[in-house]
Amino acid sequence: MGSTPQEVIMTGPVVAGTDGSGHALRAVRWAAGEAAARGTALHIVHALGAGQGSPYLCEEDRRRIVRFGNSVLDEAAGLARRQAPAVPVTTTLCGNWTTPCLLGEADPDATVVVGSRGRGGFAPLLVGSDSLDLVAHASVPVVVVPGESGEERERAGVVLAAARDERDGTTLHCAARLAGRDGAVLRVVSAWSFFENVGSTATAFEGAERLAQERTRATARIVEPVRAQFPDLSVTERVVRAGSVSEALVRATTDADVIVMGARRRSHRIGSPLGHVTHAVVHHTHCPVLLVPHS
C-alpha cells in the first residue's frame, strides 16, 4: 500500500500576477472566478522588475514606471471586481522581479495565477520565461492560463488530471477536490510511449502489450484511493499509448476546464527548468494548467 498523498491546500487566497497584457488580464479574470469559488480574497501583483531602482534612470523615468505600474494594477483590480463583486481585492506594486514578487506575496496556502505570456518576446512561439521561472521555484500550486483568442470557452464540467506514477497521488487528490467543489467530473489520463521503454529489460522480454497491461494496472492503483475518498465523484480513467505523451495530454485539454499536473522539475540547469512533457503542455494547452508541487 502506498503512502498517503501529501495534502495540497486549495482553499487559501489567490495571488495573480499582471503586466497589463491581454494574457495577464485573462489570468486575472480566471483568478477572480477561482477566488469567488473558494470564498476567499484575491491579491493582484505587478512586478516592476527592479527597473525603478536602476541607476541609469532619471527621476522622471522612475515616476513614469511607477505610474504605469499603478495603472496596470487599477485596470486589473477593476476587471476583477466586475468579474467577482463579492471578492475582496487588494493590490501590490513590487519593485523586484516577477517570481520573487509573486512568491513573496503568497502565503503557504495560497495559489498563484499567471498568464502564459507577458508583454515581451515572441508570443506565438514560446511560453513566457517568467511563467516557467515561477513554476520552477514555487512551493505552492501555480495556475498558468493560456492566451487563447476570441470569446471565453463554455464550461465543460471536466477536471482533467495527468497521472504518471505514484508521485501523482497528490495531484489526483487535488484534482478530485477541485472537481467535487465545482460539480465536475474527474477524468484521469495516463499517457505513455512505447519508445520511452525501448532498450529496457521489460521491452525485450514482455513487449508492448505487456507494458500496456502493466500501465493500466498501475493507473488503477493510483486512482483507487481517490475513488475511495470521493465516493460521490464521477471518476473515469483512460490509459493512452501515444507517440508523444505531451501531444496526447494537450489533445485531451480541448474539452476540459482545467488540467491538473505534477510540477516535475529537472535536476540540471540546462534547458527548461520543467520536464519536457510539463513544458509542452503549458505551452500548447487549450485550458488553464494547475501545477501541483511534488513533495
Q: Residues 46, 169: one domain?
A: no
The highest-confidence range among 127-136, 179-188, 262-271, by mean pLDDT, is: 179-188
In a domain, 171, yes or no: yes
**Joined grid coordinates for residue 154:** 463554455
| Structural domain harbouring 76 | 14-145
Identify whether residues 168 and 288 lie together within a single domain.
Answer: yes
Domain count, the chain: 2
113, 145, 177 - which closes a domain: 145
Same-domain status, 140 and 167: no
* Highest averaged pLDDT of the listed ranges 19-23, 49-53, 159-163, 204-208: 159-163
Given 88, 112, 145, the domain boundary residue is: 145
Q: What is the pLDDT of residues 136-192, one digit of tens each?
A: 888 999 999 997 644 467 889 999 999 988 888 999 999 999 999 999 999 999 988
| Percent of residues, the chain, with pLDDT higher than 70 | 80
Please report which confidence band the pLDDT of residue 2 belongs to, taking 50, 70 and 90 as the band edges. Answer: very low
Interval 201-254: pLDDT, tens: 444 445 667 777 888 888 999 999 999 999 999 999 999 888 889 999 999 999
Are residues 134 and 182 both part of a single domain?
no
Residues 244 and 118 in one domain: no
Mean confidence (pLDDT) of the chain: 84
pTM assigned to the model: 0.86
Query: Does residue 22 sit in the same domain as residue 132?
Result: yes
Residue 5, in any domain of the structure = no
CA distance 157 to 182: 8
Is residue 152 in a domain? Answer: no
Tell whether 153 is covered by a domain. no
Answer yes or no: do 186 and 269 share one domain.
Answer: yes
Note whether residue 254 is domain-resident: yes
Mean pLDDT across 113-125: 59
Please state, in angstroms and rounded to a whole number, the distance separating the CA atoms of residues 91 and 46: 8
With respect to residue 151, please indicate whether it lies within any of the assigned structural domains: no
Residues 140 and 166 in one domain: no
Judge if 129 and 34 occupy the same domain. yes
Between these two residues, 151 and 33, which has the higher pLDDT value? 33
Q: 137 lies in a domain?
A: yes
The residue among 145, 166, 201 that closes a domain is 145
Least confident window among 111-115, 241-245, 267-271 = 267-271
Q: Answer yes or no: is pLDDT of 102 > 60.
A: yes
Q: Domain containing 192 — which CATH number? A: 3.40.50.620
Ranking 39-53, 100-114, 187-201, 265-279 by mean pLDDT, the lowest is 265-279
